Amino acid sequence: MDKDLWDIVEATTKPPMPEGDEIAFKAWSKKNALALYLIRESCGSNKFPLIGKIREAKKAWDTLAERSKPGTDSTISPFYGKYTRSNVLK
């Protein structure tokens, strides 16, 4: 939240294309790279292989969220799925 990256993780639209708006694409790319780095650093070595080759922070986040659902083979903290923008901002 303090790095203003949550919009990258909760993206509801496709990322900008470099040929459409190069400035917007570069800004998105920087934010995506930082968000992806932070997600990877936070997920732990046992979950890193699930997202190691993913290039978009949203896809990495969604992959981890899917694997943390009850009934899946997961060791992610039970608090993981509880963090959404609306819950964090309260």
pLDDT tens digit sequence for 8-46: 998 878 888 988 899 999 999 999 999 999 999 998 888
CA angle 79, 69, 59 (to 5 degrees): 90
- The reported pLDDT for the residue numbered 30 is 95
Q: In whole angstroms, give the CA distance from residue 56 to residue 15.
A: 9
- The reported pLDDT for the residue numbered 13 is 80
- The predicted model scores a pTM of 0.71
